Amino acid sequence: MVETHTRILGIAPYDGMRTAMEQAAQAYPNVELEVYTGDLEEGQAIVQRMAPNSYDCIISRGGTATLIRQVTDLPVVDIHISVYDVLRTMKLAENYTSLYAIVGFPSITEPAHTLCSLLNFDLDILTVRSAEEVRHTLERLKQGGYRMVVCDMVTHTIAREMGFDAFLITSGIESLHSAIDQAVNISTWFGQLRQENLFLRSITQEQGGRVVVMEPDGSLYYNNMKDISPELHRCLQTHLREIPATGSLKFYYTERSQLYSITAQVLLMNNVQRYLFYCVPSRIPLHSNRPGLRSLNKGECEYLFSNSFYSLSGAMGTQDAEINALAAVRQPLFICGEPGTGKEQIARYLYLHSALVNRPLVVANCALMNDKSWDFLLNHYNSPLNANGNTVYFQNFEAIPEQWSAELLAAIEETGLARRVRLLFSRSVRPEEPVSPVTRRFIERLGALTLELPPLRSRSDEIPSLSSLYLNSLNLELGKQISGFEPRAIEMLRQYPWPNNYTQFKNLLRSLATLTNGPYIRSSSVADLLSKERSLRSAPAAHPAAVVSTDTSRTLESIIGEVVQQTVAAHGGNRAAAARQLGISRTTLWRYLGKIEAGEPTDPT
């Protein structure tokens, strides 16, 4: 049967390019483009997992395209970097105030040299030809005082690992259209592939899991397992009719104590339909029954921090040296700052740069824990406080009840906890708010250090740099090509007081990037969103005081019960916030609510 559509597989090195490729393909009604995200070896592995005879051509970029050519007989079209792509990123980097250089493979640096010559720009441009050379080049730049690079994806990944700020040069719509045009032309000339060889190659490559191919009648055609169990065979057979003609089906199967994530899809080879199953070992998710307690490992923290505003925008700024020095010590530490200043991200950074990074980071959120969680933390034999070498982070410490704080301090002092684990605390403070007695007591008794995170309004001069760096990451994520702000727009951002600091700033930048279709964010857009922010901040309190009946014939117990119920309802069911407003501990509040539900008097005595 003659193909009427060109089937193209796109391998994007980052999510933003995936979005841009999908948008570019909308201009080609006769092209079926399926895009996956994977850089370098990850992109190569995606191609290896694909069933044969699924595509006519592959498009990708740079080093990823080179690696893909090593594992496929399909033609691979490279998405080139245009002069305009380089110019757009150089324009975005103009707001950066520190030393920076352009680093990349010749496809990046050759147009950069041309632009600098034409525009009379005095920039350092360094050409590399391998990933090993990238790291050596960046080390020399770091020694020379450089803090940022404009670069390609390979350099961008290594630069972020080494602590550089980095602007990634992205491919514009013109480059993507050119690549699709070339892929369509090549696919027209490309004949039938050696499907049997591709089939064997794709399913026998190391996948980190099990591969099973079944005939339509449920019999085995191929499997790379030494011995497939009858239970697994029956499980796969029961899902045969559920597999869609296009796309894939995903389900789970537990064999003894091992959970497998199974992906199934139709495999068409030589016009014969079979069914392909990838069975990948997966960690069984543990659903915690202890609210407010969570354990994270190094990899999870690296992912969370690397995708945070602090990491993407270089928001640590001049505190970089102080924070790194604090990461190297074992003393208890209080991280203090206004809401939205990134206390949780700083705690993750301290953990990741400490000697205890290969042990868990245990997060105890004082605003979310209940009595059961607290009892487990302090009294259970399997508590993370009983393990040596953990980092224990008490988040939202300002919400801890007085009784719990006394119990925790006693446990730390009596068991020598601070010598066995690293203790981190964070507390939110409002401007001019004094240190609470509980916090002061912990700092004095434990000899704790303190780290004060400055509010964003005190760093207004850095807002152009912070916004440009974060916009660069949003361009990648959203598939945008935003080059910056109109001059009046950036001044509006500098003048706004940012009461919720980096969290508010990040959310507003994301909204602006999402709504902007041109190369520059307009001042009118900024003014509109800032006006909405002011309206939200000046709105009446969301939790009005409880209104109690003045019926004097009622008992004191019933009045107390009504006040407790109304206060909890006013806070949307948040018992910790209700207890703070009532001036009682959460334990006392829960005792009241328990008596109310049981129909007993609410007098706690």
- Kindly report, residue by residue over 349-386, the tens digit of the pLDDT: 999 999 999 889 999 999 999 999 999 999 988 888 98
**Residues 6+ positions from 512 with CB-CB distance below 8 Å:** 521, 525, 526, 529
Q: What is the mean pLDDT of residues 415-419?
A: 92
Residue 305 CA to residue 295 CA, distance in Å, equals 15
**Residues 6+ positions from 329 with CB-CB distance below 8 Å:** 449
Task: State what percent of residues in the chain have pLDDT above 90.
Answer: 39
Contact 423, 455 (CB under 8 A): no
Nearest to 567 by CA among 551, 587, 584: 584
3-state secondary structure of 314: coil
Distance of CA 574 to the CA centre of its chain: 27
pLDDT at position 136, please?
94
pTM, to two decimals: 0.59
Q: What is the mean pLDDT of residues 387-410?
A: 93
Confidence of residue 250 (pLDDT cuts 50, 70, 90): confident
Alpha helices in 479-555 (DSSP H): 487-495, 501-515, 523-537
**φ, ψ at 358 (rounded to 5°):** -90, 0
pLDDT at position 101, please?
94
Q: What is the mean pLDDT of residues 452-464?
A: 90
Residue 564 CA to residue 373 CA, distance in Å, equals 23
Which of 103-112, 271-280, 478-487, 543-552 has the least mean pLDDT? 543-552
Confidence of residue 28 (pLDDT cuts 50, 70, 90): very high
- Kindly report, residue by residue over 555-602, the tens digit of the pLDDT: 777 777 778 777 877 766 677 777 777 878 777 777 777 666 655 555
Confidence of residue 179 (pLDDT cuts 50, 70, 90): very high
Q: What is the mean pLDDT of residues 464-483?
A: 86
pLDDT at position 404, please?
94
Q: Which domains does the chain have, with CATH numbers?
A: 6-80+174-195 (3.40.50.2300), 83-165 (3.40.50.2300), 206-282 (3.30.450.20), 293-454 (3.40.50.300), 457-533 (1.10.8.60), 541-605 (no CATH)
Whether the per-residue pLDDT at 93 is higher than 70: the answer is: yes
Angle ∠(304,310,312) on CA atoms, nearest 5: 80
Whether the per-residue pLDDT at 336 is higher than 70: the answer is: yes
pLDDT at position 82, please?
85
